[in-house]
Structure 1
Amino acid sequence: MELTTLWFVVIAFLWIGYFVLEGFDFGVGILLRVLGRDEPERRAVVTTIGPVWDGNEVWLIVAGGATFAAFPEWYATLFSGFYLPLFAILVALILRGVALEYRGKRDDLLWRGRMDTLITVGSVIPALLWGITFANLVRGVPLDADHEYVGSLGDLLSPFALLGGVAFTAVFVAHGAIFLALRTTDELRQRANRLAARTGLVAAVLVVAFLLWALNLRGDTASAVVAGAAVVALVAALVANKYRREGWAFTGTALAIALAVTALFVAMFPAVMPSTDPATTLTAVEAASTPYTLKVLTWIAGIFTPLVMLYQGWTYWVFRKRVTVEPVAVA
């Protein structure tokens, strides 16, 4: 495999890891006020992602850094053309992170209510905007001969892109609901299980519509097969959730997200920034760094990526037990 293709696969893998892991804690954040009916329940909901949410965001940082190093022109075109939505994502993630860290710093229900609002908003906005961003990558955006974005913000808000935003958000909500059913107990677990069933059906309809539209715009046999497998995995997750097999249900939604994102990257390749004018499409070869740079990056990634994955896997193993709803102590 050529290094250019290898690094396209690596970056796709990093985005897949990010959406699978950050996807469920986006869903948990969105559902914080929906499933958490009082302070003890909301504290339990936040506790389920407390030890892992910041580690999940590392995948985004590494994906951005790898894109900058391996495909600098892709990075430049993407981050300049999508500046406003990516900036909004960054602000939302900062506010969400601050709220998660500072929620428990004051024993004040009003304070915690405000932090809960920031967590919810900071989860909805990135989920929606990531869907819009990736939908535009598949659809193609206006680029000139120098591969610079020449469209407007309105060009990024096509019906297909908006469907992508809603589909991503719905899948993350279902993924988060199943994660909460997996990690909580008693009444909170039961409500999460029921909500996962309802949101999962909505997500399945939206995902099927989005993938069919995406394949119609830019797809081939390989991407169609992968997309079909994603739908099967999502349906299997809903069946497992119905029988209260939360572990298998979570595996199913994780696999569905991974396969759906894979289908988008397969449909896009060898382009990294498809253009509405095929003549100005930016390909992986055109955007890549020098062979020497890619070779050095390959050695670095080969050494450190397994170590990071082992550490993060160990973190999930340590904090694998269910979280119980503890009553608030009365002084």
Structure 2
Amino acid sequence: MLETTWFVLWALLWAAYFVLDGFDLGMGALLPFLGKTETDRRIMYNAAGPFWDGNEVWLIAAGGVTFAAFPTAYALMFSALYAPLLILLFALIFRAVSFEFRGKVEHASWRSFWDGVHFLANLLPCLLLGVAFANLFMGIPVDAQGVYHGNLLKLLNPYGLAGGVFFLCMFTLHGAIWLAIKSRGQLQTRALAAATMLWPLMLALLVVFLIMTAFYTKLYANYLAMPALFALPLLALAGLLGARAMLRAGRLWLAWGCSALFIIGVTYFGVMGMYPGMIISSLDPAATVTAFNGSSSPLTLKIMLGVAVVMVPLVLIYQFWTYRIFSQPVTARELEDDHAY
């Protein structure tokens, strides 16, 4: 029971990270396409400015829970996926640097350079997270001794690449809606146009990814065994359809909430399809690390659960307060503040 509880919480932490850091990653990946002027680009930086570093806390929490609750899965995950996770780490580092360094020198070439860094440092995580999780869904070549028999190129298989494109579109749609909330005028118009253009592409990719999942993975076995789980992909579809309806109605916060629901549904669709597997071996089913054979002791899981019950609500309350304080659109006047990027 404890193992299953922590498996569900593990999925929740990844879903929270995808929802919260997903919008600023997606918005950064849209920078060259929507930021037509210096003011536009600064608004895009400041639309993410108060949130991006706090959003990354959920990535640390997801990694920390993997380490503490499922140490065997953590060891294999960070060994088999070492290359993409290392690239992801450096991308997040350079993203942080781009926020701080861009405005240090008043020169167009300097700012253009850091805009390029910012774009790549947001684009790569979108792709890499999709590639990594698609490979986890499919299974990776790990033997009974925990040795990974592969390299980065093996991760760039058709299903892994499809996952990367899927995540990129999912995050850019989420980011475009967020930018529409945080901007006004022509920039908001372009953000809404981008969201409107990305929506049918996202729907098409969802259909393609679900079909490819049937051929490349065994996720549907859990769904056939437990039909109630089909509520998860239906939840994702409802979120995606709701996002389009709310965009048409001009209710942008609800559109973003529906987009978040879509991301949560997608995350749980994949993770619950793996259950109880966490690191599925494509070489030997007996070598698969599950929530049961890869977990910490029951005492450790009980202590962690007590800490989570106390601390997670506090973090959520703090983040809700932050989002409420900085909920207003970013205007050109606010860019004159010394604290603006």
Q: Under a length normalisation based on structure 2, what TM-score does the superposition of the two structures give?
A: 0.93
Q: How many residues align?
A: 328
Paired with 2:242 and 2:89, the residues of 1 have a C-alpha distance of 34
Q: How far off is 1:327 after superposition?
A: 10
What amino acid does structure 2 have at the position aligned with 1:307? L
Runs of 4+ in 1 over 4 A off after TM superposition: 326-329
Deviation, structure 1 residue 222: 4.1
Structure-2 residue corresponding to 1:71:
70
**Paired letter, 1:237:** A
Q: For residues 328 and 311 of structure 1, do their structure 2 counterparts lie closer, same or farther at Cα, with a shift above 3 Å needed?
A: closer
- 2:254 matches 1:255: no
| TM alignment of 1:188-199, pairs within 5 A | 188-199=187-198
Q: Is 1:226 aligned to 2:232, yes or no?
A: yes
SS of aligned partner of 1:287:
coil
For residue 25 of structure 1, report the CA deviation from its aligned partner. Answer: 0.3
**Contact 2:177/2:255 (<8 A) preserved:** yes
Choose which of 283, 294, 307 in structure 2 pairs with 1:287. Answer: 294
- Tell me how far 1:244 sits from its aligned partner: 2.1
Q: CA RMSD in A?
A: 1.6
User: Residues 95 and 118 of structure 1 are in contact (CA less than 8 Å); yes or no, is this contact kept in structure 2?
Assistant: yes
CA displacement 1:90-131 (0-9 Å, x = unmatched): 011100111012222222222211111111100010100100
How far apart are the structure 2 equivalents of 1:16 and 1:150? 29
Is 1:45 aligned with 2:44?
Answer: yes
Alpha-carbon contact 1:32-1:45 (below 8 Å) kept: yes
Corresponding residue number in structure 1 for 2:339:
none
Work out the CA distance in 2 between the residues paired with 1:215 and 1:282. Answer: 22
The one-letter code sitting in structure 2 at the alignment partner of 1:324 is: T
Cα 1:222–1:150 shift into 2, 3 Å: farther
Among 320, 323, 331, the residue aligned to 2:327: 320
Q: Deviations over 1:268-319 (max 9, x none)?
A: 1001111113222111111101111111111111111111111111000000
Unpaired runs of at least 5, structure 2: 337-341
Deviation at 1:223, TM superposition (A): 4.1
Q: 1:111 to 1:232 in 2, by over 3 A?
A: same
Matched residue type, 1:285? F
Give ranges in structure 1 of 5+ residues lacking alignment: none
- Alignment-derived partner of residue 248 in structure 2: 242
Question: Percent identity over the alignment?
Answer: 42
1:89 aligns with 2:80: no
Are the equivalent residues in 2 in contact too, given 1:193–1:244 (CA < 8 A)?
Answer: no
Q: Does 1:214 align with 2:220?
A: no
CA distance in 2, matches of 1:280, 1:155: 19
- Partner Cα separation in structure 1 for residue 334 and residue 292 of structure 2: 58
Deviation sequence 1:172-214 (CA, Å, 0-9, x none): 1111001111111111111111111001211121122113322
For 1:68-147, what aligned pairs fall within 5 Å after superposition? 68-147=67-146
Measure the CA separation in 2 of the matches of 1:292 and 1:147.
25
What amino acid sits opposite 1:245 in the alignment? R
Q: Return the TM-score normalized by structure 1.
A: 0.95
Matched, 1:274 2:280: yes
Indicate if the aligned counterparts of 1:271 and 1:284 stay in contact, CA closer than 8 A. yes
Cα deviation for residue 230 of structure 1 reads 0.5
